[in-house]
Structure 1
Amino acid sequence: MKNSEPIIKVDHLFYRYEKENVLEDISIEVPKGAFLGIVGPNGSGKSTLLKHLLGLLKIQQGKIQLFGTEIRSFKDWDRIGFVSQKANSFNTGFPATVYEVVLSGLTRKIGLFRFGSREDRKKVDHILESVGMLDFKNRNIGELSGGQQQRVFIARALVSEPDLLILDEPTVGVDAQNVNQFYDMLENLNKELHITLVLVTHDIGVISDKVTHVACLNKNLHFHGSTFEFNALKERDLSSIYGHDVQVITHHH
């Protein structure tokens, strides 16, 4: 793959449920190494766009390319990791350690109910360290806070070494005190491990503070560009996207 080729390329994507358009003429490019934040109000089409990127919805109109390949013929799904809003609904009685949960991210490679090779175990330790959870590796997943669980789920998605990580509202269920640390961790993963990230979030303050690129979605694509360009937008411009007053509060450290 050429460096100049975007990891994700969406061209003139439309999607409708029954008679209502949910996405209208969406075109987005995500370059390698970017950290894209997708923001928009409830019902703006963010989840529908994510389902398209993950191959879960059939394209009605438009085109999507992943790593330079048309999504219809894309087979390398191991190159994409996904983290959903799990912390909010996770079964805290689930009998597995942090280590076992992360190792399960290698199931396709090593098979079910295997302990993994020495190399696999080193890989699990390394990725747990990168998300700040190595000290918890023998702890039961149900004993952790929502924020800690989400870090473990991110480690599970990363252990297979994907080139792209997609996160859907990952701070749902994470207490406010830990949200900043959580976003710091994502920023470090992007900068230090050079993983391309796509983050769907309601938190506009994080967008202006952490990501490299921003897409504002509300059925149409109202903005797509660098964080620098996004930060130059006036609050009244954002309010017109959201349909109500919006105040941007950045997260200082």
Structure 2
Amino acid sequence: MLSLQHVSKTVDEQTLVSDVSFDVEAGQCVGLIGPNGAGKSTLMKLISGMYDVSDGQVLLFGQNVKRWSHKKKAQRVSVLTQDGLAPYPMTVYDTVMMGRYPHLKFFQRESADDLNRVDHVLALTGLTDLKDQMLDTLSGGERQRVAIAKAMVQEPDLLLLDEPTSFLDIGYQTEVLNIVKAWQQRTGLTVLMVLHDLNLAAQYCDRLILINQGEIVKQGSSDDILTTETLEAVYRTTPQIVRHPIKDIPQILL
């Protein structure tokens, strides 16, 4: 599905990412974690093709990301940046419908099937009652739901999420991630997401990749990564690791 092979990125003689290699298999949910400035968002931009690699290669579905046209890539990959949707004076419905555009030919109008897909996704994400509201009247959490609905309508095979829960309260955080998890389980979607909250990463990701100073420190299950020794070395603080009372996964107390 996705393969990074010895990927590096250098800007003005500063190395942002150095010799990073990992694979994401179809149907997995993988979390990129690490401290601020570790290179997580840079990696996401390299994967999406927004940045060109300085060395190595990024393969999407077995083909170098540089060889994908924007339209073909948008038919199979959806990207949600940490900035989310800007509060434009545009309706929720029209915003979500934009997710269908990669599947339309030039000057082709939306079909009845496209309209039905949008209505279905609005219902799944609890946005039906908000479909006629303007984005600039919504809260940040509501706009993030709209962003996910737009991505769902796009029907990608791979979803890239860069800090999808930034600036959201705990209610909206779990709401957004529950929508993504249900979508993944329903369709076999592959997800790669950057998360700062390590507890959320442990709860929602099948595998974690810990990055620091542009390099992979360790990758594996939450039990492999979220240990006192590893986190103390990377984050320079001493956490207390406890077990989640229901899911029996590591959770962090400071």
* Matched-pair contact (CA < 8 Å) for 1:214–1:227: yes
Residue equivalent to 2:86: 90
| Residues 2, 58 of structure 2: 8 Å contact kept | yes
Q: Aligned partners of 2:174, 2:242: CA distance in 1, in Å? A: 13
Q: What's the offset of the Cα at 1:110? A: 4.0
Task: Label 1:116 to 1:99 Cα distance change in 2 as closer, same or farther (>3 A).
Answer: same
For 1:82, give the aligned amino acid: V
2:35 aligns to what SS in structure 1? coil
Deviation at 1:95, TM superposition (A): 2.4
Which digits, 9 at most, give the CA deviation of each residue in 1:115-139, with x for residues without a partner? Answer: 6222111010112223232332222
- Label 1:202 to 1:140 Cα distance change in 2 as closer, same or farther (>3 A): same
Tell me if the contact between 1:9 and 1:64 (Cα under 8 Å) persists in the aligned partners.
Answer: yes
Q: Secondary structure at the match of 1:159?
A: helix
Q: Which amino acid aligns with 2:179?
A: M
2:217 aligned with 1:222: yes
Secondary structure in structure 1 of the residue aligned to 2:154: coil
Q: Is the 8 A contact 1:79 1:161 kept in 2?
A: yes
1:56 match: secondary structure: coil
Post-superposition CA distance 1:27-80 (Å, at most 9, x none): 110000011110111110111111110112222111211101122323331210
Q: How does 1:35-184 map to 2 (within 5 A)?
A: 35-75=29-69, 76-77=72-73, 78-87=75-84, 90-91=86-87, 94-110=88-104, 116-184=110-178
Per-residue deviation, 1:25: 1.6
| Percent identical residues | 30
One-letter amino acid of the structure 1 residue matched with residue 68 of structure 2:
F
- The one-letter code of the counterpart of 1:20 is Q
Q: Is the 8 A contact 1:131 1:151 kept in 2?
A: yes
8 Å CA contact retained: 1:187, 1:211: no
Whole-Å Cα distance in 1 between the matches of residues 116 and 235 of structure 2?
Answer: 45
Q: Distance in 2 between matches of 1:249 and 1:67?
A: 38
Q: Aligned Cα RMSD in Å?
A: 2.4
TM-score, normalised to structure 2, is: 0.86
Which 10-residue stretch deviates more, 135-144 or 197-206?
Answer: 135-144
Q: TM-score, normalised by structure 1?
A: 0.86
Q: 1:3: which partner in 2?
A: none
In structure 2, distance between residues paired with 1:167 and 1:32: 16
How many aligned residue pairs are there? 242
2:229 matched to which residue of 1?
236
Unaligned residue ranges in structure 2 (runs of 5+): 247-254
What SS does the corresponding residue of 2:184 show, helix, strand or coil? helix
Q: Which moved more, 1:139-148 or 1:98-107?
A: 139-148
Cα distance in structure 2, aligned partners of 1:245 and 1:190: 34
Give the whole-Å Cα distance in 2 for the aligned partners of 1:237 and 1:173: 27
